[in-house]
Amino acid sequence: MHPLRLVCLAAGTALAAHAADTAYLFTYFTKNGEDGLHLAWSADGYKWEKLNDGKSFLAPTVGRSKLMRDPCVVCGADGTFRMVWTSGWNENDIGYASTRDFITWSPEQEIPVMASEPTVRNSWAPEIHYDEKRSEFIIFWASTIPGKFTETAGASESDYNHRIYFTTTKDFETFAPTKLFYDPGFSVIDATFLHADGHHYLIVKDETRNPPKKYLQIAECDDLQGPFGRLSPPFTPPGLWSEGPTAIKIGGDYLVYFDAYTAHHYAAMCSRDLKTWEDVTAKMSFPDEGTPVRLRHGTVIAVPAALVAKLRDRPASSATAH
């Protein structure tokens, strides 16, 4: 196993054993995602500070709209960080790039994940995770395909009716045919995994507008491709419309960060058993809260503390396309 792999995994005993050498990165976007990738860091998962003086680390170049929304990052078995993102509001593709240090990046790549569905309306909030069982990456996202899942037609705004789809790859050159990943019986977006204690927990947002739901729930699974267990009751505060969850276990705490987007702030929930939840938003400190460049939907990952130190010591500079 590559040495970085021990701290890139956001779960397991490796993190606990190497806590002093671990820091946390928050990959996020601001505004509409037009200027690319932003990073914040934390030593404890509660106090977050922006890096690069709040400037972007990578400018978007792929997709018709050339946006970089919902950036999701995972560390592979070789210590390389792989990132996918939403490249536009109404497109059949997503963006992809890789890096070892968040400074030097591979050329950006357009992955037409829904090209087999000519009427698809969108490819939103892609997530990437490393599947150790199969030695491959799994990528999943939310899409609306008109005419499918008619039992929930009209449940979301603008006639969207999402389900989660996925593909897999070992080399980011060849991708498995896209398949349905998760259909909970309602319009669902913003799926993400929490990996902890040898288990996988799929966190999803119920996107139903009528009647309003807009909350987060969890389903456990033993395999990254399912099957998934029964969904938990909603665990985000009632009436607080939530989106873009990202989750990690730090010490004994399961932390789920999310965008309380109608309230225009970031929020967080904490649990010790994934059943009883505490709203810990007041204990959090996020950069630029209350401003137009506040954090938006991203990913929290564990990384070597030395990597964060290098990013903190680097003179601030504006992003360039790679």
Q: Which domains does the chain have, with CATH numbers?
A: 5-313 (2.115.10.20)
- pLDDT at position 17 is 37
For the four alpha carbons of 54, 59, 65 and 71, in that order, the dihedral sign comes to: negative
How confident is the prediction for the chain on average, in pLDDT?
93
φ/ψ (deg, to 5) at 36:
105, -150
Q: Tens digit of pLDDT for each residue in 81-101?
A: 999 999 999 999 999 999 999
User: Which tokens belong to 167?
Assistant: 């593909």
pTM: 0.94
**Does the pLDDT at position 218 exceed 50?**
yes
Contact status, residue 100 vs residue 81, Cβ threshold 8 Å: yes
- pLDDT at position 20 is 73
- pLDDT at position 6 is 36
- pLDDT at position 19 is 65
- Interval 31-36 mean pLDDT: 98
Least confident span in 15-19, 235-239, 276-280 = 15-19
Q: Tens digit of pLDDT for each residue in 157-195?
A: 999 999 999 999 999 999 999 999 999 999 999 999 999
Counting residues of the chain whose pLDDT is more than 70, the rounded percentage is: 93
**Residue 99 to residues 76, 96, 271, 286, 313, Cα–Cα distance (Å):** 11, 11, 32, 25, 18
Length of the chain as a residue count: 322
Full 3-state SS string of 43-83: CCCCECEECHHHCCCECCCCCCCCCCEEEEEEECCCCCEEE
Angstrom distance (rounded) from CA 54 to CA 13: 33
- pLDDT at position 154 is 86
Q: Helix (H, G, I), strand (E, B), or coil: what is residue 217? A: strand
